[in-house]
Amino acid sequence: MQSNRLNVLRMVGRTWLTVVMVSVLLIGTSGSILWWQGEQIRDHYTLISEMKRTEAMLSKKNNGVRLSVCGDSKRPCVKVNPEAGVFGEDSSWMILAGK
């Protein structure tokens, strides 16, 4: 009887030890992932803020010209003023739309 009781207590102890170890590993892994994502978000937020400042500065210096991205490939683009006509030997230059 005493032997069975000790075996049951050992089994219960191992079960709780396993539950605690798995819980600690899950909490540690989740915390690490959350910390990493927070770092990524902070870095991207900083980059976006720098880009907005640069865009505002360029827009102010260039009479309100706004930079954007166009098409599926997200290429840089700007608005042009087609009423101003085309320029250059091959007519490939146009005036930017601004103020």
- 13 has pLDDT over 60: yes
Let me know if 29 is exposed, middle or buried by CB neighbors in 10 A (0-12, 13-18, 19+): exposed
pTM: 0.49
Residue-averaged pLDDT of the chain: 86
Q: Which helix (H) or strand (E) holds 25?
A: helix 2-61
pLDDT > 70: what percent of the chain? 96
With 70 as the cut, is the pLDDT of residue 98 above it? no
Query: Of 79, 80, 83, 76, which Cα lies nearest the Cα of 95?
Result: 80
Strands (E), the chain: 68-70, 75-77, 86-87, 93-94
The reported pLDDT for the residue numbered 45 is: 96
Phi-psi group of 90: left, alpha or beta (phi > 0 → left; psi -120 to 50 → alpha; rest → beta): alpha
Half-sphere exposure of 11 (CA within 13 A, CB side): 6
| Mean pLDDT to the nearest integer, 68-73 | 87
